[in-house]
Amino acid sequence: MSLLLEPITLRDLTLPNRAWLAPMCGYSADDGLPNDWHLVHLGARAAGGFGLVMTEATAVVPEGRISPQDTGIWNDEQTAGWKRIVDFVHARGARIGIQLAHAGRKASTFRPWAPEQGSVPVADGGWPTVGPSAHPYPGFATPAEMTAEQVADVPEHFAAAARRAREAGFDTVEVHAAHGYLLHQFLSPLANLRADGYGESAEARSRLVEETVGAVRSAWPDELPVLVRLSATDWLDGGLEVDDVASVAGRLGTLGADLVDVSTGGVAPAHITVGPGYQVPHARRVREVSGLPVSAVGLISEPVQAEQILVEGSADAVMIGREALRDPHWPLRAAHTLRDKIGTVPVDAGVGVQPQYSRAQWR
């Protein structure tokens, strides 16, 4: 039996395997509403055997979108749009999570393939941005420093989105506190220059993410897990380092976080030497220090590589990103390579892993 294809249980939620679809922005929504593109994209990966299918970064408020084409979950129409997708994924035998996000000073930007880059002008459908300080991400518009009242509203925005996510039927929520978005901006001394209770020390800088995770945990059913994505290092002098973030993760665990999705970087441009599994050592360190389960992500492409990450104790699950864009049936290929079978978790529809693809497994 391969560890990659064994189930894992977080609280009362059992996921059929440890090969999970990483959250990746599709920049294809209109007014935050998921559509047929999202149904087909996420549904195909569920049919392909991923145990957990994660949505892209989904904004908790309109001004929290990375781009005007990002998905959201701040109104009833979006909640209903997500429910259709959730139901389809469940009928494929997979579990589904939603990544809740606010982009802060990195909001209102052109999507990657647009001819323009940087911040979208208000006249062209953009909006003014906010952040912990009036300090811009290089090349983007300068954000307004958030008032104390605006900061205090953030946890409830995330909690309200979590309640909507449960209405839509999601199995888990992930608080996005990585990649240079709002909660990471508060955590990092490179973006947070405040002199109040949210920025005057490392403990103060972690206050907002702690309050947000606590609010989401209170709004989310006790029997279902809450995940948190953290950037384990800023890759820059004077920025966050892995032991700083691991300590934050440990405190989030006491507030009810059940797993840390460990990534790196994003708060400011940095030179990063990348290679297969280049972020895995950071996941291992967060796991060791915090005592929490973790997922690893970052150029994990081969089934044997993913299996070794789990066997050596560097992570409890792997997030597959770019490779899942190339191969929506990556877990089925992994089952063939590892000569194993993907397990099933009973679902209301009684379907389980898709019988149409059963011959893709190891036989």
Query: In 139-291, which ranges are continuous DSSP H helix?
Result: 148-168, 182-187, 202-205, 207-219, 242-254, 280-290
**The tokens 């991400």 sit on which residue?**
137
Distance of CA 195 to the CA centre of its chain: 29
* Under 8 Å between Cβ of 235 and 268: no
d(CA 326, CA 35): 21
- For residue 278 the two structure tokens come to 């280049």
* Under 8 Å between Cβ of 27 and 67: yes
CA angle (204, 208, 214) in 5-degree steps: 120
* Under 8 Å between Cβ of 129 and 204: no
CA angle (92, 97, 101) in 5-degree steps: 145
CA-closest candidate to residue 293, choices 10, 50, 17, 15: 10
Distance of CA 234 to the CA centre of its chain: 17
- Classified as helix, coil or strand, 177 is strand
CA-closest candidate to residue 239, choices 177, 190, 186, 200: 190
d(CA 305, CA 301): 7
CA-closest candidate to residue 200, choices 132, 149, 267: 132
d(CA 277, CA 264): 12
Contacts (Cβ under 8 Å, ≥6 apart) of 220? 162, 166, 173, 226
Q: Give catalytic status of residue 137 as yes or no.
A: no
* Under 8 Å between Cβ of 255 and 287: no
Give the active site residue among 181, 198, 278, 357: 181
Tell me the torsion sign for CA atoms 336, 333, 174, 223.
negative
Q: Which residues are catalytic?
A: 181
